[in-house]
């Protein structure tokens, strides 16, 4: 209240409903987003632009993101989706459900999660992962640690060492922008597609990403 915001932006995935209701009771407008797809994320950009009276900034950004996704879709036409395990957490193993924006981002990048459940953040046993044998393991990069070092440590752990993808180095470390329904998610989708389907990018390149690209995504094979 002391800061007197014109509006508070919230997301249902992170903020508590009680917080939003408390702000509303004391007269602070709140706009909550809950995108479940990449398209939903882009729509929320336009809605927030209207709320902030920043349509002139939001509209071209949304158009650019849609254009890049359309270009990627054309490039990926006819490719067979890679079977992947998206690793949110390693101990216990937590992945993503089929109805999340991350699962939709994986589909856009030419991937299909081996975890098929409606739970948003399912815990998966190592025994089940070994049975499923994903083609690739996809890890979001971590600002707080050395993701590659953590992956190397998994090679000696029971269960993990039985995964063909880990033994063969079919691992993708992707920017943690994939974890947030925001514009840079499209950067991660494009670059994950490159890592999983390099043959689709052999003869031409996607247009240079705009200035908000701040992190790289790489395929790490050993």
pLDDT for 204? 57
Tell me the C-alpha distance between 205 and 217, whole Å: 16
Tell me the C-alpha distance between 28 and 219, whole Å: 45
Nearest to 141 by CA among 194, 177, 191, 101: 177
| C-alpha dihedral sign at 181, 186, 190, 195 | negative
- The beta-strand segments (E) located in 28-81 are 30-33
Compute φ and ψ for 85, nearest 5 degrees: -110, 115
- Structure tokens given for 209: 């990403």
- Structure tokens given for 163: 């995964």
pLDDT for 44? 94
- Structure tokens given for 31: 């706009």
pLDDT for 154? 87
Tell me the C-alpha distance between 3 and 161, whole Å: 52
Tell me the C-alpha distance between 26 and 94, whole Å: 38
Q: Are 137 and 111 in contact (CB under 8 A)?
A: no
pLDDT for 47? 95
Q: What is the pLDDT along the chain (222 residues), one digit of tens a residue?
A: 889 899 999 988 788 999 999 999 999 999 999 899 999 999 999 999 999 999 999 999 999 999 999 999 999 999 999 999 999 998 899 999 999 999 999 999 999 999 999 999 999 999 999 999 999 999 998 644 577 778 888 888 888 989 999 999 999 999 899 998 999 999 999 989 999 999 998 865 554 444 333 333 333 433
Q: Are 120 and 54 in contact (CB under 8 A)?
A: no
Pairing of strands 136-140, 171-174: parallel
Q: How far apart are the first and last CA of the chain?
A: 53
Q: How far is CA 115 from the centre of its chain?
A: 15
pTM of the model: 0.83
Q: Are 37 and 60 in contact (CB under 8 A)?
A: no
pLDDT for 84? 97
pLDDT for 151? 84
pLDDT for 173? 92
């Amino acid at each position: 209240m002391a800061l007197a915001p014109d509006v508070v932006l919230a997301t249902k995935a992170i903020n508590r409903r009680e917080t939003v209701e408390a702000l509303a009771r004391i007269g602070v407008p709140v706009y909550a987003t809950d995108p479940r797809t990449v398209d939903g994320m882009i729509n929320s950009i336009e809605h927030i632009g209207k709320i902030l009276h920043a349509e002139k900034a939001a509209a071209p950004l949304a158009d650019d993101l849609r254009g890049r996704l359309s270009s990627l879709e054309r490039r990926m036409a006819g490719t067979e989706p890679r079977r992947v395990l998206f690793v949110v957490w390693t101990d216990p193993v937590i992945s993503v459900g089929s109805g999340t924006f991350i699962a939709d981002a994986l589909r856009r990048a030419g991937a299909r999660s081996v975890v098929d459940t409606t739970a948003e953040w399912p815990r998966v046993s190592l025994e089940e992962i070994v049975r499923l044998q994903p083609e690739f393991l996809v890890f979001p990069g971590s600002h707080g640690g050395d993701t590659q070092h953590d992956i190397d440590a998994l090679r000696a752990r029971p269960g993990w060492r039985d995964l063909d993808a880990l033994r063969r180095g079919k691992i993708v470390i992707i920017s943690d922008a994939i974890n947030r329904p925001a514009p840079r998610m499209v950067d991660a989708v494009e670059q994950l597609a490159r890592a999983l389907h390099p043959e689709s990018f052999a003869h031409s390149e996607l247009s240079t990403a705009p200035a908000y690209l701040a992190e790289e995504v790489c395929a790490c094979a050993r």
